[in-house]
């Protein structure tokens, strides 16, 4: 797995460097090395280009090879989420929406724009979202951490349930 990942990553670097095939948008030199790197890594996600697949699957396989061992005690809480991925997914969506509604009521006294489909389409009137709606990166990470922390105990409970019982429907969650 490691060598396949290294090969895919090397193929990305080679194909992107020559810029002849793999992505419809060419990269270009920028004023700074960092922005040149960003241009080099900026590949089309939709539709998935060959370069996008190489640059995501290659490092992912390298990471899988690196983590395919006992990671010790510190990784056990993270493994809980890996044992119940669909359960976590199904719980996190309504929890995040509920947190967004609660924070909107606390901050603006209303949250009607969060109930339009899709949200934020209305730009004026009762359903328009406030112009200063949103949070900085620190706030987003804080909310993300709080949601993951809040879902840890339910996910651990469900992972333990799946180990105790072998009902077929449990394997889907």
Rg (CA), the chain: 22
The domain boundary residue, chosen from 21, 44, 67: 67
Domain boundary among 47, 67, 87: 67
Last residue of a domain, which of 11, 38, 67? 67
* Domains identified in the chain, total number: 2
- pLDDT score of 118: 61
Q: What is the pLDDT averaged over residues 6-33?
A: 91
pLDDT grade, residue 45 (50/70/90)? confident
The contacts of residue 71 (CB under 8 Å, 6+ apart) are none
SS3 142: helix
Distance CA 107, CA 31 (A): 40
pLDDT digits (tens, 9 = 90+) for 97-152: 999 999 999 999 988 888 876 655 555 555 677 888 888 999 999 999 999 999 99
Are 63 and 49 found together in one domain? yes
Element (H, E) at 52: helix 50-67
Cα torsion angle, 108, 113, 114, 120, sign = negative
**Domain ranges, residue 37:** 2-67
Kindly report the average pLDDT of the chain as a whole number: 88
């Amino acid at each position: 797995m490691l060598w396949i990942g290294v090969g895919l990553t090397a193929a990305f670097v080679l194909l992107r460097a020559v810029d002849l095939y793999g992505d419809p948008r060419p990269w270009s030199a920028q004023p700074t090395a960092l922005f040149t790197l960003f241009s080099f890594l900026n590949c089309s996600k939709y539709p998935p280009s060959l370069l996008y697949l190489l640059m995501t699957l290659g490092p992912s396989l390298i990471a899988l090879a690196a983590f395919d061992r006992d990671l010790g005690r510190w990784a056990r809480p993270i493994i809980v989420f890996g044992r119940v991925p669909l359960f976590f997914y199904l719980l996190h969506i309504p929890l995040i929406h509920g947190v967004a509604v609660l924070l909107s009521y606390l901050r603006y006294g209303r949250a009607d724009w969060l109930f339009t489909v899709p949200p934020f389409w209305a730009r004026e009137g009762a359903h328009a979202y406030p112009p200063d709606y949103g949070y900085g990166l620190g706030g987003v990470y804080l909310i993300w951490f709080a949601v993951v922390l809040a879902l840890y105990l339910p996910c651990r409970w469900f992972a333990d349930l799946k180990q105790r019982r072998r009902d077929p429907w449990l394997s889907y969650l």
